[in-house]
């Protein structure tokens, strides 16, 4: 495997970030960093009324993610491997979808200051899925506060993720189509993913488990 000390799994809600992060951390005997989602007291209200609660929800997430990332920066990334189920930059992706223009300006000033010292991942594994697949997975995991997530919101979020990874190209990225993948139950999918990570040479590359296509 390339010298990857800090690997991040990213993607929209319900795509399978945490499950794959746990699996990779176990396989690599790595430290695991998981996002604190359910601790956000505004989240259930946000999904019922996005306009009214977006700013509070976003600021709470940003400060929590910043606290976790600063703890991460204290670890010795030269001797310890870290697998995380989010990156700090995801906060801005969500903010771009959820905040009004004025709110986003204020948010950007705060996040710009906080983000200066955040560790950057050696590789981001960006998981993609269709809106139908995302909704099925969200329903299957049974988080009550996610019951009000609409298909249109998932579509906007997916577009924002694609825009970030394919336009900004700020991180070495492996884009993985997960519509027909099951890394936990199908060993060939997981082993194929590990091979794609091994063969990643920088920039943005893709891996499609169902067809075994890399490029």
For 6-214, CATH gives 3.40.50.300
Query: What pLDDT shows up at residue 78?
Result: 60
**Alpha-carbon torsion, ordered 8, 9, 11, 12, to 10 deg:** -110
Decide: helix, strand or coil at residue 33: strand
Q: List 207's β-bridge partners, or say none.
A: 176, 214
Alpha helices in 40-100, H assignment, sequence order: 43-48, 50-73, 90-98
Decide: helix, strand or coil at residue 117: helix
- Out of 3, 49, 76, 85, the active site residue is 85
Residue closest to 31 by CA, chosen among 67, 85, 90: 85
Longest dimension (CA), the chain: 48
Residue spans of the domains in the chain: they are: 6-214
Query: What pLDDT shows up at residue 212?
Result: 43
- Is residue 85 annotated as a catalytic residue, yes or no? yes
Report, as ranges of residue numbers, the positions in the chain whose pLDDT lies below 50.
1, 212-215
Q: Which residues of 7-37 are buried (b: 16+ CB within 10 A; e: fewer)?
A: bbbbbbbbbbbbbbbbbbbeebebeebebeb
Query: What pLDDT shows up at residue 168?
Result: 78
> Tokens at residue 10, please?
């990213």
Q: pTM (2 decimals)?
A: 0.90
């Amino acid at each position: 495997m390339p010298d990857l000390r800090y690997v991040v799994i990213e993607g929209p809600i319900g795509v399978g970030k945490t499950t794959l992060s746990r699996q990779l951390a176990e396989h690599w005997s790595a430290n695991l960093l998981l996002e604190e989602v359910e601790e956000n007291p505004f989240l259930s209200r946000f999904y019922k009324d996005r306009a009214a609660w977006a700013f509070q929800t976003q600021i709470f997430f940003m400060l929590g993610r910043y606290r976790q990332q600063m703890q991460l920066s204290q670890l010795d990334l030269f001797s310890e491997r870290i697998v995380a189920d989010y990156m700090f930059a995801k906060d801005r992706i969500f903010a771009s979808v959820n905040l009004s223009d004025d709110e986003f300006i204020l948010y950007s000033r705060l996040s710009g200051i906080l983000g200066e010292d955040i560790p950057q991942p050696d590789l981001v594994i960006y998981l993609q899925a269709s809106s139908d697949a995302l909704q099925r997975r969200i329903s299957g995991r049974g988080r009550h506060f996610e019951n009000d997530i609409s298909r249109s919101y998932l579509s906007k979020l997916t577009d924002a993720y694609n825009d970030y990874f394919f336009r900004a190209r700020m991180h070495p990225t492996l884009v993985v189509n997960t519509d027909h993948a099951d890394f936990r139950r199908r060993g060939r999918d997981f082993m194929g993913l590990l091979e794609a990570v091994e063969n990643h040479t920088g920039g943005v590359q893709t891996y499609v488990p169902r067809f075994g296509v890399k490029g």
